[in-house]
Amino acid sequence: CNVGKQDDLDALVEQTVTHFGRVDVLVNNAAFTGAAAGKGARELTRKEWELMLAVNLSAPHWLTMGFLPHFPASGGVVINVTSVAAEHRPVTGANPGGLGNPAYGATKAGLNRLGNFMASELSPERIAVITVDPGLVFSATIQAMPGIGTDLPPGHVSTDVPAAAIA
């Protein structure tokens, strides 16, 4: 499923509901920087900017809206996985884009705010909206960016996050 494409999102909702009948928990975990990782604002192309908006911010919104009618009357949970890039200051020097890049940070900050609004709006329907920031994970993408994570306090960088830690 390409969550950057509305038709794929609609098909995902339809196939999920057809298979399971309802949805109790939705985890919006997709994230994308692609070739734009580490680029500053001046280097980003419009296509890179719009793709990150589509995947990192629009997809969680539209998936949540698509699944809303399929939560049981007793309620449910929407979990949005965000990033330290939403709040952390950009790293200067070799990587002007900092953690991810301006578009990635902006989309994750937007996801934080979207989660706040959704939580307020959906709470009367007994649907909790939770935003989770697993912290900086020193993935291969992050390790390839000079200076990333070197200014964070010990214990704020993980080499991996077991699924059970965020489940």
Q: Three-state SS for 78?
A: strand
Q: Among the options 39, 104, 105, 148, which is catalytic?
A: 104
Per-residue tokens: 109? 């900050």
Alpha helices in 68-148 (DSSP H): 102-122, 140-143
Q: Three-state SS for 11?
A: helix
User: Is residue 104 annotated as part of the catalytic site, yes or no?
Assistant: yes
- Which residue from 48, 108, 121 is spatially nearest to 81, judged by alpha carbons? 108
For residue 26, what are the β-bridge partners? 78
Residue with tokens 């509901």: 17
Rounded distance, CA 96 to CA 108, Å?
A: 18
The residues assigned a catalytic role are 104
